[in-house]
Amino acid sequence: MNTTGPIWISAGEASGDIHAASLLGALLERQPGLKAVGMGGPALTRAGCDVLFPMRLISLVGFTEVFSGLPRILKLLGEVKRALIETKPRAIILIDCPDFHFRVARMAKKLGIPVYYYVSPQVWAWRSGRVEFLRRFTRKVLCILPFERDFYAARGMDVDYVGHPLMDQMPLAELDAIRPDPNLLGLLPGSRRKEISTLLPEFAKAAQLLRREFPNLRVALARAPGLDPEYLRSFLPPELPVEIVEPDDRYRLMRASRVLLAASGTVTLEAALIGTPTVVAYRLSALSYAIGKLVIQVKWASLANLIMGREVFPELLQDKATAQYFAARLRGWIADEKALEAARADLAGLRERVGGPGAAGRAADIILNDLRAMSR
């Protein structure tokens, strides 16, 4: 077994990039001389990884969007294979993005490189048959959601539950000290250009509708890493004053806001852990949505609802992802203090269910211990 090569880490979206950076930090604490290469974004780069492939190359959403980008993805996979052969990594760590990473796992198996899947793909949501793929092509699957361990166990697969890395990445004690602004609406339109171009115009219209009823309402928008503020402003009407908040300040915005309007994704779990009532939105192409309805096996889209087993955040998807629906759901929380407090109380207990800090460290220990065991 190769014991001297670097570790290849691969993340394909903003949240995965942050999780990858935390994991690499934990690995370096345990092995200061460790070298890392792979695919990711600015967080993984800052953590010390030699990012050979920027993650924006695979930032696609939905079935039809992936299909239209297939020639580019296939070309990229060929380049990744050549890089794997040249760099000779001793292990590969894949983070989420199964449509791309399953192909990387398959080629790694042929090259004799052990694969660890950190942030288990959401096979519980759809295509649960892919559990067999993970059994065949990975050394270990490391889960971050509490219900995933039971899901895999029911299918005869032993996985490691390490807890959610957000509990390390979010300064919750500091955020808890911030008093929410009763007149602040926070917008979180996502990190991918496709979702932003679809959702942000409707977010802005909803904000305008609400400001007609609540003239003191201010609007702030959290900018995802890698997005130009002017690109975001191109979807905002000039008559709507919107403060664009830098990525590093997004948690403070989320805590300071009375309510949030957010694209479905990791950010909705962040909002729930912070304790701010949130309306969750998403819209896919008509074909992607039609296919999704046939194969999706879970009741909710947002992680907060899945973890709690009930709807703590309203979900407005597809045809309901419009300004009128957004404004109607947000209006109750803005107008009624008791309704707002009830929504905040509904989030109690989520942190305990997610688990304590230390997920990245536990994942790093599992990976390094397994690599040592293989080298004996």
Q: Residue 59 corresponds to which tokens in the numbers above?
A: 């930032």
Q: Cβ distance 181 to 258 under 8 Å?
A: yes
**43 located within any domain:** yes
Same domain? For 116 and 253 the reply is: no
Residues 179 and 155 in one domain: no
269 and 126 both lie in a single domain:
no
Q: Considering just the CA atoms, what is the radius of gyration of the chain in Å?
A: 21
Q: Residue 53 has which token pair?
A: 């492939």
Residues 346 and 232 in one domain: yes
- 340 and 268, same structural domain? yes
Examine residue 307 and state whether it is found in any structural domain, yes or no: yes
Q: Could you give the CA distance from residue 117 to residue 23 in angstroms, rounded to a whole number? A: 12
Range of the structural domain that residue 60 is part of: 7-165+358-375
Could you report the average pLDDT of every consecutive run of 10 residues in the chain (376 residues)?
87 89 97 96 96 83 51 89 96 91 95 94 67 92 89 86 91 96 97 91 98 97 92 96 96 98 92 97 66 53 86 92 97 96 91 89 96 89
User: Are 224 and 370 found together in one domain?
Assistant: no
- Residue 2 included in any domain: no
In a shared domain, residues 20 and 136: yes
Does residue 1 sit within a domain? no
120 and 199 share one domain:
no
Residue 161 lies in a domain: yes
Structural domain total, the chain: 2
241 and 92 in a common domain? no
Please state, as a whole number, how many other Cβ atoms lie within 10 Å of the Cβ of residue 212: 9
99 and 214 housed in the same domain? no
pLDDT value at position 27? 98
Same domain, 117 and 258: no
Residue 67 lies in a domain: yes
**Does 222 fall in a domain?**
yes
